[in-house]
């Protein structure tokens, strides 16, 4: 999976926040996003990848990219089409 050069519709910056805050911010963005929208979550909590992966699998969103830049993790999530 890759993030570099990918387009996204919404940026969620959760750097400096710890579990479960990055996932809460992502869930809020997903609630307001259109079906098929792509959200880029930036977080530095090492548990963010685990939490986001589990959430996407549970509710049907797609984790379509991941990239680490220093201590920051960038995840691309595509909202499921309803």
**Which of the residues are catalytic?**
19
Helices (H), the chain: 21-32, 48-59
- For 21, 28, 48, 76, 81, the CA distances from 24, given in Å and listed in that order, are 5, 6, 11, 16, 20
């Amino acid at each position: 999976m890759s993030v570099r050069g990918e387009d996204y519709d919404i940026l969620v910056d959760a750097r400096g926040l710890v579990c479960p805050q990055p996932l809460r911010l992502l869930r809020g963005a997903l609630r307001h996003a259109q079906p098929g929208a792509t959200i880029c979550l930036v977080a530095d909590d090492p548990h963010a990848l685990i939490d986001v992966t589990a959430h996407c699998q549970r509710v049907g969103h797609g984790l379509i990219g991941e990239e680490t830049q220093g201590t920051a993790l960038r995840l691309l999530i595509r909202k499921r089409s309803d």
